[in-house]
Copies of this chain bind each other. A is one copy, B any other.
Amino acid sequence: MSKNVNMIGAGLVGSLLSIYLAKKGYKVNIYERRPDMRTAKISAGKSINLALSDRGWRGLEGVGIADEIRKIAIPMYGRFIHHKDSSTAFQPYGKDNQAIYSVSRAEINMRLMDLAEQKGGVEIHFNERCTNINRQTLEAQFINEETQKTSSSKSDLIFGSDGAFAASRLNMQLSSDRFEYNQHYISAGYKELIIPPGKDGAFLIEKNALHIWPRGSFMMIALPNMDGNFTCTLFLPFEGEKSFANLKTREQVKKFFDEEFPDAVPLMPTLLDDFMNNPTSSLVTVKCFPWTFDNKIGLIGDAAHAIVPFFGQGMSCGFEDCVVMNELIEKHKEDWNRIMPEYETLRKPDGDAIADLAIANFIEMRDKTADPKFLLQKKIEARFNSKYPDKWIPLYSMVTYSPHIRYSTAFKRRATPRSHHAKNYGKA
């Protein structure tokens, strides 16, 4: 039986999958390009905090660390809308106490690494950049980014969990015939900013909400952190009238924020410095197929399906990959010739669905959440759902609170303007 695994990437999904595999008796070596974030002082990087919801919690529960993570997770019970005239509105995400959770990417990743090492069976090698994977021999090659030493390692199975720009996936793209690949960037980029805590770590805006400043073609959002600050993210087109291209000087930035986010500016004392210093990042969707090769190499998480962040499902989707993989290992009794094909057949439609839903949700967040009619619609939906919970579940609830409903099923069942139209006017 194949018991030695090389995992490319010690991010959220690579670490979690390693724990699952170690619990099944596999010996896992993780090769991570970056230094150990638990000891090295490395920049927090992009997307400081992430949303975690039920599918993600399931992944953590499966390895017994959900309770530990819950201690550092902040529930957000709805959208807190900041209008341009500084008026506000609250839109609950679901019923009762349904929430999504704001968690620190670094915190959760470090705890997963700790757990992986503590449970035994997992060894993490840092600063090791994967330079090649030989499909025939299953030999993976690495170069150490600190020492420049090269090394190689053979294993029975290889997983690529190295993210949206995965070296593992590129290797498969170049060494496979008929590899379907698509990378698409939306026209908007993002920049992270900050609302620091008030006196004694006080949260200066509502703690238990995801804040949105919807402005039509762009928006700012803010998620709470444990220490009282909020990570703000401005999503804005790269080009055009209101765009990053037109925010080159401190004066332009100040004028733009004063006009667009008047209630936020007083809470952002380092706004101008942050804006000038922090990077402007792009937003990519990656779709590819196959996800597995020769039943011995598998892509997982962002390496298989990088998505834009607007449904808050990136991490949860990757964790769900691990849950599915774990279920298939049990179902097929570790027969990887059956696990790998079923994994990609089952998960590919779900990856495609959440990718498309995430792009669609950008429009909802930046545009529709500012519309009173939309708020009314959400209320009607919630009322309908609470009266007839078996008949109909809102799309957001299917995706966020219903891990038993596949993303692809949620995608098919969603109500769209087209389906409304079809209902009203007969079959198109």
Q: Chain A residues in contact with chain B, CB under 8 A?
A: 170, 173-174, 177-185, 238, 282, 428
| Alpha-carbon distance A185/B288, docked complex (angstroms) | 12
| Alpha-carbon distance A202/B404, docked complex (angstroms) | 68
Nearest CB in chain B to that of A170: its residue: B174
| Alpha-carbon distance A173/B238, docked complex (angstroms) | 19
Nearest CB in chain B to that of A189: its residue: B178
Contacts of A183 in B (CB 8 A): 173, 179-182
18 A-B pairs whose Cβ atoms sit less than 8 Å apart in the complex:
A170-B174, A173-B183, A177-B282, A178-B185, A178-B238, A178-B282, A179-B183, A179-B185, A180-B183, A180-B184, A180-B185, A181-B181, A181-B182, A181-B183, A182-B182, A182-B183, A182-B184, A428-B428
A426 CB, min distance to chain B CBs, angstroms: 13
Copies in the complex: 2
| Alpha-carbon distance A173/B170, docked complex (angstroms) | 11
| Alpha-carbon distance A178/B282, docked complex (angstroms) | 7
| Alpha-carbon distance A177/B186, docked complex (angstroms) | 12
Contacts of A282 in B (CB 8 A): 177-178
Nearest CB in chain B to that of A178: its residue: B185
A303 CB, min distance to chain B CBs, angstroms: 16
| 4 A-B pairs with least C-beta separation | A178-B185, A182-B182, A178-B282, A181-B183
Nearest CB in chain B to that of A182: its residue: B182
Nearest CB in chain B to that of A286: its residue: B181
The winner among A170, A181, A282 for most chain B CB atoms within 10 A is A181
Contacts of A181 in B (CB 8 A): 181-183
The winner among A178, A179, A181, A184 for most chain B CB atoms within 10 A is A178
A421 CB, min distance to chain B CBs, angstroms: 11
Nearest CB in chain B to that of A181: its residue: B183
| Alpha-carbon distance A180/B177, docked complex (angstroms) | 21
Contacts of A179 in B (CB 8 A): 183, 185
A307 CB, min distance to chain B CBs, angstroms: 16
Nearest CB in chain B to that of A173: its residue: B183
A337 CB, min distance to chain B CBs, angstroms: 18
Contacts of A182 in B (CB 8 A): 181-184
| Alpha-carbon distance A292/B185, docked complex (angstroms) | 17
Nearest CB in chain B to that of A186: its residue: B178
Contacts of A178 in B (CB 8 A): 185, 238, 282
Contacts of A174 in B (CB 8 A): 170
| Alpha-carbon distance A180/B287, docked complex (angstroms) | 12
A182 CB, min distance to chain B CBs, angstroms: 4
Nearest CB in chain B to that of A174: its residue: B170
| Alpha-carbon distance A170/B175, docked complex (angstroms) | 13
